[in-house]
Structure 1
């Protein structure tokens, strides 16, 4: 099972709430009856209007992201007035990096507050701790003005109905034109913000930027004489891993077992597949045992870092950056993050493998999950919905604008230096700017890396290669109450078994019984709820 960040963040919310309060997360605000598929499908989604002022060097499509070889020389100042209302605005979020200096010691944050026209007070937690903090705040009823809700939070419809503003009148159809950079977020991403027959939030879009494949250290492979690796089947993929492993020198091919890659080689569904109105889970696919056998073979051959089963994602990133591992399964967002964290100097180079068919031909890559989070506004906020939407709109100003340049890079001289027209972050810049603004709102990712035009070129090339073959999760935009309550725990059970099987601690044959148990413990109910939801939206 691919543990995406959204699955991971959603992971312990219900358990955390029980630990904190002794009750499930949303006891007393269970899903409202009006959260029907038909009611949600009837909502007029925001009209998509692409912002056309900035022309990409590498034009994208509705799937492939726009690429830029350098930052535009004269960034457009896209928003004339400060969006805030002069009063402090509170926000709660996770952040992927280290906790940055507090506002009184952080010049980026101070300048941000000036530009917003309101002091932004941010309560932040690491990715690992956010689920507990979120559950505690919800249980205590102590909500900030702006709330980062992970998509896998149990029973979101009940949560947003009882705690958050209904934004439909402000965002539905052409009403969104008042917020041009929210209108610049494609319609598809808004489907994940509709509950109880209403729009309850702003999407933080991912999709293609979250699509994950095998990332590799191009410089490490080149040092072994391997240029443009393109394994044509699983055997060649496995042979390449063996070639990049030297256990005595503390060097392994992989940071973890590339189970998702193997599953894509075998055409296993991306979470849920739908055909003729019938849903099938990835767990039920006939090739699962073959995939597990292949993963076990890789572990037995010693091509996976032996600490892979004990350490967190942050450790894997350090192995890849430090050259202890040459391959990592991750996304386009992570690709950029690797350059940000690069400790190997100028030679450091990352690229991505296409996924072949297991026995040849082409594999079926999975489209990344659509949303990082839904940003909702507390009903008890003293700010108007318009003010909070203006702040979200400011945060969504796209690549090439002055607002984006400041939001991502800070102030010239302190937070970045210009290399031509490219902003190159300073150490202070990297530390001070990491305050989680991208989780209030954001534009879709632009393919770009300051001073390294080869990065967006490589990213654009692989996206163009896989775009037509991408496999989507058929359950996106459909709500299943059973999935909301049980999916995380059931997925964990299957992932734990997968780990035992690939390490050789349990036989592959155990998968079948576990899959039957998954079905009877909620899987079949999820399936029927998704099928019903799809049927209810037919023709809408």
Structure 2
């Protein structure tokens, strides 16, 4: 199945929300009219040249990811040149885990600097704190050489035009072949890096790896005699949830209300739907009332952890790992992270549910967010664009290469041990390697878990099952200024209303008024801007 222009979800409803930082992020960064859909559509994107030196055990497609049962015994040394220019390079990023030891106490970081041929100076912040730090640095004009720009940053076109390098001449068309691992990133991902009629960054790709469905603890379900859960409709799903709940034993089926999953059962749009040039928000779909009623039913039946409405994502992950909850709605990235954080011992196992139709048949899963972030380069950097692109290219060397093995796992003996040909991280490795290199650039995710070939097999199988049914967000690659400024607050208001309804604090009938407010407060204007952008781009 060829992937269309609007193939990848621009983040789902939660991730598509625009950050509200409270900081005047773009003072002096106003974009001009050059940021038109026509100018962006005219940009020749990097030529895609798939790297063929590493052969997967489980071949993917343009949607399904490649899978590997073990790490290749003789990793390919893919890059011979040192990419750096000998001078320090600064980078600012978020970090999903704990802040690692500083460079002078971190042997992995020291080895990175040696291999790059430049000292990489990284300013880090936690996921929760990064957007505020980012906004403060932008407002103060204090920019690093390499900048991790979240996709939900307000008014990105003005920001990159004012502050970042135009990389079009270096990356457009066949020019990208000079950087073979950037060229190895499929074309669709680059659409999220085009603003003002130019390429202003390098993508950090996600797509299928961010597709989310219910993850479940295979060991907990097996203890109940359930080895292959495959509910055929909502009622069977509801019964399964009840079976996996025992409040008196401090066990619940769910970490949170799986409202997105219920919407997929009902075939709702993925954020924005386009039909004949007209755009419709997911919120407008009539079946929302049925999804909300079903969610209320789950909450009323007590199958959702009662703390779900108060605690953060980190707490939900602890419930799943600790066996307090059997199901969590999350992605393939999270699937691997759960194995990394496993506290339950060798019996621990994870798999993913397919999505049935609400009343039978097949549901429609939503494709995951195309990009984690856009990586741009400070236009005032003393480093050349070529040097910074070589650094990004090094960071994007794919699975099976020696560069990937080092970048993800570190140095053998200290940061990992070999189990056969598989690198198994040590405690030191887990602590020292988490310095955020994956947010400079990265290859598309490979399905793999060291020493557990059943993990990529399960992941590949569910991806193959859902690939032809994936629903894409029609707004990806189309810029709406109103969405950039207002989506965060609009989505927050709708999320708040959803939470009130599913907890029984407001009636489902309040949803219609909420949708009217969403549309009058900016949703209608976003629709118009998306439709104009779509038409101007020739419906591509």
Q: Which residue of 1 aligns with 2:359?
A: 359
Q: What SS does the aligned partner of 1:446 have?
A: coil
Q: Which residue of 2 aligns with 1:492?
A: 492
Q: Which residue of 1 aligns with 2:310?
A: 310
Post-superposition shift, 1:6? 8.5
Q: How large is the RMSD of aligned CA atoms in angstroms?
A: 1.3
Q: Deviations over 1:445-467 (max 9, x none)?
A: 00000000000000000000000
After TM superposition, list the pairs within 5 Å mapping 1:73-472 onto structure 2: 73-472=73-472
Post-superposition shift, 1:25? 1.9
Q: 1:15 aligns with which of 5, 18, 21?
A: 21
Q: Distance in 2 between matches of 1:106 and 1:496?
A: 43
Q: What SS does the aligned partner of 1:273 have?
A: strand
Q: Which residue of 1 aligns with 2:53?
A: 53
Q: Distance in 2 between matches of 1:15 and 1:132?
A: 6
Q: Deviations over 1:244-270 (max 9, x none)?
A: 001011111000000010000001100
Q: Which residue of 1 aligns with 2:473?
A: 473
Post-superposition shift, 1:484? 0.7
Q: Which residue of 1 aligns with 2:5?
A: none
Cα contact 2:99–2:124 (8 A) shared by 1: yes
The answer to whether residue 78 in structure 2 is matched with residue 72 in structure 1 is no
Q: Distance in 1 between matches of 2:206 and 2:458?
A: 19
Q: Pick closer, same or farther for the CA change 1:7–1:275 going to 2, 3 Å.
A: closer
What stretches of structure 1 of length at least 5 have no aligned partner? 18-23
Q: Distance in 2 between matches of 1:481 and 1:9?
A: 17
Q: Distance in 2 between matches of 1:45 and 1:10?
A: 23
Q: Pick closer, same or farther for the CA change 1:15–1:6 going to 2, 3 Å.
A: farther
Q: Distance in 2 between matches of 1:497 and 1:166?
A: 42
Q: Pick closer, same or farther for the CA change 1:7–1:99 going to 2, 3 Å.
A: farther
Post-superposition shift, 1:95? 1.1
Q: Deviations over 1:198-227 (max 9, x none)?
A: 000000000000000000000100011001
Q: Which residue of 1 aligns with 2:6?
A: none
Q: What SS does the aligned partner of 1:135 have?
A: helix
TM-score (norm 2): 0.97
Q: Which residue of 1 aligns with 2:523?
A: 523
Q: Distance in 2 between matches of 1:328 and 1:96?
A: 18
Q: Distance in 2 between matches of 1:103 and 1:4?
A: 35
What stretches of structure 2 of length at least 5 have no aligned partner? 1-8
Q: What SS does the aligned partner of 1:306 have?
A: coil
Q: Distance in 2 between matches of 1:331 and 1:519?
A: 30
Q: Pick closer, same or farther for the CA change 1:10–1:435 going to 2, 3 Å.
A: farther
Count of residue correspondences: 532
Q: Distance in 1 between matches of 2:18 and 2:427?
A: 34
Q: Which residue of 2 aligns with 1:20?
A: none
Post-superposition shift, 1:26? 1.3
Q: Distance in 2 between matches of 1:293 and 1:514?
A: 16
Q: What SS does the aligned partner of 1:394 have?
A: helix
Cα contact 1:37–1:534 (8 A) shared by 2: yes
TM-score (norm 1): 0.97
Q: Deviations over 1:106-151 (max 9, x none)?
A: 1110111100101111111111111111111111110010000111
Post-superposition shift, 1:9? 7.2
Post-superposition shift, 1:10? 7.5
Q: Distance in 2 between matches of 1:12 and 1:466?
A: 28
Q: What SS does the aligned partner of 1:309 have?
A: coil
Q: Deviations over 1:142-176 (max 9, x none)?
A: 00100001111110000000000000000000000
Q: Pick closer, same or farther for the CA change 1:40–1:4 going to 2, 3 Å.
A: closer
Cα contact 1:13–1:132 (8 A) shared by 2: no
Q: Deviations over 1:502-530 (max 9, x none)?
A: 11111111110010011011111111111
